[in-house]
Amino acid sequence: MAFAARATTAPMQEENNVMAAKDAKAIGAKATQALQQGSKRRAPLGDMSNLVGPLNNRPAAGKDGKVVDPKATRTLSRGKEVAAAPAAANGPSSTAPTATARQAGTVPVPRTTRSQTAAARQQGMSMSSLLQQRSEAAVTAKKAPAPQSPLPDIDSADRGNPLAATEYVNDIYSYYRRVEPKFRVQPGYMSSQTDINEKMRAILIDWLVEVHLKFKLMPETLFLTVNLIDRFLEIKPVTRRNLQLVGVTAMLIASKYEEIWAPEVRDFVYISDKAYTREQILAMEKTMLNTLHFNLTLPTPHNFLARFLKAANAHLDKQVTNLANYIIELSSVDASMLKYSYSMISAASLYVAMRTFDKVDPFPKALARHSGYTEEAILPCAAALVGLVQKAPTASLNAVFKKYSNVKLGEVAKTEVCASILDEVDSELL
């Protein structure tokens, strides 16, 4: 009986042992799987800071505060990880070894990538320092342009003259060049007018030259008058009956702006042969100022010519000065010259005058620097001006020619200008 009972229980015990072994194996597999899943989870964050580089690259410190070799820690962690697998089979939960492994530092260190290795090289550098270093590298990588040499000093002789404003005269003319395009009109703007044309404009300005001479006004007043007329006609349609009214009103405004003793309204009523009343002139003055938004401070050809004469060291030469002034006044009558800027007309007028009187250097470097033009750039404009001077003695509108034929102005209108300039320019460019 006893033997039979042993024989019966032996297979059952072996079967139980096999089942227990299978259960233990299954539990161990689950524990190993849990460890593997735990090792793939994200490691806890370290201290928040602005250090560049992965947190795992920081040196680990032991209990005594000394730095621990990362290789030794990694080897020890692997040993504990392997030993934790059999122990997990006897534990009540498969998650306990994972928590213990994390606390003991057994989570395997992930492999560092190239970007992490590069970032580790910058370890300890703040983000602001890194950005500054990169920006400095980007700036130094570009080749910096050579600084431009300062403008030639042409005002040293006027240091003691407070009216010359030598401290900021260069800034003034730099401003003139910057705002010059703002106050220019389109060359063919007269085509938008239905009742007047360029010929009527020329007749008006030729008559205003005589009025300007009669009232003995400043040269700036005449050129400002022409600019006001052009800008107003570009915006407002005007009948031929009111064209002369626009002209006398523009000269009234320019006189108030430029002159010390400006002519009165009744003077313009008289000079226009009472074609307009005082009230009409004042009403047009209001309309013109509102249309032009009271923009009266602007550069004129006379402003640029005064500066260019000084740059060419010809401001004391009466012949050159009078001839250059004669040429720019001729250009104000002809509407075809509107395609050139005031500064270019002034530079080209001076160039023609210098060539006419056989100056050694008709376009010196100081003039080129202060004007912003080269001799080649102004040649087409200079050739067009030479053509105007040649036609002036026989033109029907000859107020400017008569004015500069006076002895007081050196009779420069009778001077033969340098015609060789025409041969240096292609006729298609005129």
344/378 Cα distance (integer angstroms): 7
Cα dist from 86 to 25, 192, 197, whole Å:
9, 100, 108
pLDDT score of 118 more than 60: no
Q: For the chain, what is the radius of gyration of the CA atoms?
A: 47
pLDDT value of residue 2: 46
pLDDT value of residue 416: 93
Full-prediction pTM beyond 0.85? no
pLDDT score of 372 more than 50: yes
Domains and CATH numbers, the chain: 14-34+59-106 (no CATH), 159-429 (1.10.472.10)
pLDDT score of 119 more than 50: yes
pLDDT score of 281 more than 60: yes
Sign of the CA dihedral running 295, 299, 301, 302: positive
CB 97 within 8 A of CB 88: yes
Cβ atoms within 10 Å, residue 169: 15
Give tens-digit pLDDT for 260-273: 999 999 999 999 99
Choose from 109-123, 144-158, 193-207 the range with maximum mean pLDDT. Answer: 193-207
Which residue has tokens 């007043």? 221
**How confident is the prediction for the chain on average, in pLDDT?**
80
166/157 Cα distance (integer angstroms): 10
Residue 61 bridge partners (DSSP): 67
Closest CA to 381 of 410, 417, 421, 419: 421
Model confidence at 426, in pLDDT bands (50, 70, 90)? confident
CB 327 within 8 A of CB 404: no
Q: Which two tokens stand for residue 170?
A: 């260069």
Q: Using DSSP, how many helices (H) and how many strands (E) does the chain show?
A: 18, 0
CB 392 within 8 A of CB 401: yes
Cα dist from 194 to 146, 190, 230, whole Å:
53, 9, 15
Q: Which two tokens stand for residue 49?
A: 């800071």
